[in-house]
């Protein structure tokens, strides 16, 4: 029931033409519209309180980089957090603390923990990010990175995890305005930038587009998957709200697969070449995932999309198996299942129920694309400036 309602609300949020909706969809609109208005009022009231100093922003003793979103789902927020953490740990040589809420079964937090296991990157999970930060800063200590010299020798692996914290990365920081930040990055999904332009829950927007005025830089994710004219439309819409904003483009570039549950099996992308594939996902932007798999020269792609962060249940596993059996009957060979890393990390135990079908997990890395004089290098320069 809940899944069904979520789907309906999602359909309303992403439709441009109300006339294409069913009577059931239409009957929900007044309620959604009212909630949207209340939400908008509450948001702007909160901003006013901070603006005039009735509420005070909490300041951490280390620089804070915030990565946020205005709409729900699929905008590359977690891959961006990972990109920045990697840069800090490997290029700059300081230990970052990622502050994340651990939303929706904590799939994103679990993925970060798996990727940064045994490195100097610390991951603080909790809804109260100021409290989480305080406990980590107390446990590990912190360094003033304005007087920081990159170590000339690599730090021995045994000491790396005890490194003092130099920078905090605020995951999903846009709405978390109670914490002071030195750099505000907002992610936008090129494939569905703002849906019907309405606020939650009527539309996908968590804040009006004018909130871009608070940002320092916007990164348009999945930029490689849309036409140039759509990109220009998105860019001009953003610049209307703040013409000094820096706009970067990024892409989720597939790197390899692993065969579940063996996370150290590194399989090349042609593993699915000329295979029948069922893409199963519960992520914010399933179409981008399916399109990536289609481009890998597969024989046939079928897909099952669940809403973002959906916890797979035994009955879902049965549905997936039925779909696989149909594909097997139709094409004669055993189909493979492909999921994203986030789906794998949400609950990898339940995926074992798909045996004897093989489950491949697609791994991607965020890349900054060259565009109008912006590149990975200029992006790193922007990050560097925010630290001093």
Shortest CA distance to 143 belongs to which of 171, 124, 162?
Answer: 162
Structure tokens at 30: 């007044």
**From the list 90, 262, 313, 326, which residue makes contact with ligand NAG (rule: CB under 6 A)?**
262
Q: How many residues form the binding site for ligand NAG (CB under 6 A)?
A: 17
**From the list 7, 51, 56, 114, which residue makes contact with ligand NAG (rule: CB under 6 A)?**
114
- Shortest separation between residue 198's beta carbon and ligand NAG, angstroms: 16
| Binding segment toward ligand NAG, per CB under 6 A, in 31-39, 74-82, 315-323, 340-348 | 74-82
- Interface positions, 77-96, toward ligand NAG (CB under 6 A): 77-78
Structure tokens at 182: 């030195």
- Shortest separation between residue 144's beta carbon and ligand NAG, angstroms: 30
| Binding segment toward ligand NAG, per CB under 6 A, in 113-121, 143-151, 319-327, 372-380 | 113-121
CB closer to ligand NAG out of 282 and 387: 282
Shortest CA distance to 185 belongs to which of 73, 63, 77?
Answer: 77
CB closer to ligand NAG out of 128 and 265: 265
Beta bridge mates, 359: 337
CB closer to ligand NAG out of 63 and 173: 173
CB closer to ligand NAG out of 66 and 75: 75
| Binding segment toward ligand NAG, per CB under 6 A, in 6-14, 75-83, 236-244, 374-382 | 75-83
**What's the distance, Cα to Cα, between the start and end of the chain in Å?**
51
**From the list 69, 132, 192, 340, which residue makes contact with ligand NAG (rule: CB under 6 A)?**
69
Query: Binding of ligand NAG at residue 184 (CB under 6 A)?
Result: no
Binding mask 143-182 for ligand NAG (x = CB under 6 A): -----------------------------x----------
Query: Binding of ligand NAG at residue 102 (CB under 6 A)?
Result: no
Cα–Cα distance, 109 to 101 (Å, whole number)? 8
**From the list 62, 63, 74, 107, which residue makes contact with ligand NAG (rule: CB under 6 A)?**
74
Q: Across the beta sheet with 359-369, what order do the strands follow? A: 122-125, 95-100, 165-171, 64-69, 183-189, 217-221, 246-259, 359-369, 336-340, 276-281, 300-305
CB closer to ligand NAG out of 340 and 386: 340
CB closer to ligand NAG out of 262 and 326: 262
Compute CA 128 distance to the chain's CA centroid, rounded to the nearest angstrom. Answer: 20
- Interface positions, 118-147, toward ligand NAG (CB under 6 A): 118
Task: Decide the pairing of beta strands 359-369 and 246-259.
Answer: antiparallel
| Binding segment toward ligand NAG, per CB under 6 A, in 16-24, 68-76, 190-198, 297-305 | 68-76
Residues that bind ligand NAG (CB under 6 A): 69, 72-75, 77-78, 103, 113-114, 117-118, 172, 262, 264-265, 284
């Amino acid at each position: 029931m809940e899944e069904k309602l979520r789907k309906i609300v999602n359909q309303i949020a992403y439709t441009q033409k109300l006339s294409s909706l069913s009577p059931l969809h239409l009957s929900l609109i007044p309620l959604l519209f009212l909630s949207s208005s209340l939400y908008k009022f509450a948001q702007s009231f909160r901003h006013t309180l901070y603006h005039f100093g009735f509420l005070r922003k909490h300041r951490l003793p280390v620089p804070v980089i915030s990565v946020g979103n205005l709409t729900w789902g699929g905008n590359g927020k977690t891959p961006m957090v990972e990109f920045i953490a990697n840069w800090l740990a490997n290029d700059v040589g300081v230990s970052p603390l990622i502050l994340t809420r651990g939303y929706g079964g904590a799939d994103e937090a679990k993925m970060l923990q798996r990727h940064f296991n045994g490195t100097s990157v610390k991951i603080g999970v909790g809804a109260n990010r100021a409290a989480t930060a305080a406990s980590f800063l107390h446990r590990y200590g912190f360094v003033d990175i304005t007087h920081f010299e990159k170590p000339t020798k690599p730090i021995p692996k045994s000491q790396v995890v005890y490194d003092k914290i130099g920078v905090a990365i605020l995951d999903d920081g846009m709405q978390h305005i109670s914490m002071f930040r030195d750099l505000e990055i907002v992610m936008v999904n090129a494939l569905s930038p703002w849906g019907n332009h309405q606020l939650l829950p009527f539309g996908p927007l968590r804040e009006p587009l004018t909130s871009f005025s608070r940002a320092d830089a916007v990164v348009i994710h999945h930029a490689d998957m849309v036409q140039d004219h759509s990109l220009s439309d998105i860019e001009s819409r953003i610049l209307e709200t703040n013409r000094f904003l820096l706009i970067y483009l990024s892409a989720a570039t597939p790197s390899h697969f692993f065969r579940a549950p063996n996370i150290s099996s590194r399989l090349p992308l042609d593993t699915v070449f000329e295979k029948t594939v069922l893409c199963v996902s519960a992520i914010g932007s399933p179409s981008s995932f399916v399109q990536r798999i289609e481009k890998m020269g597969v024989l046939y792609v079928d897909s099952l999309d669940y809403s973002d962060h959906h916890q797979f249940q035994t009955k879902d596993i049965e549905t997936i198996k039925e779909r696989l059996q149909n594909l097997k009957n139709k094409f004669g060979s055993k189909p493979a299942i492909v999921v994203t890393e986030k789906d794998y990390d949400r609950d990898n135990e339940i995926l074992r129920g798909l045996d004897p079908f093989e489950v491949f997990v697609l791994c991607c890395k965020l890349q900054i694309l060259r565009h109008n004089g912006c590149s990975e290098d200029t992006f790193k320069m922007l990050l560097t400036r925010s630290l001093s």
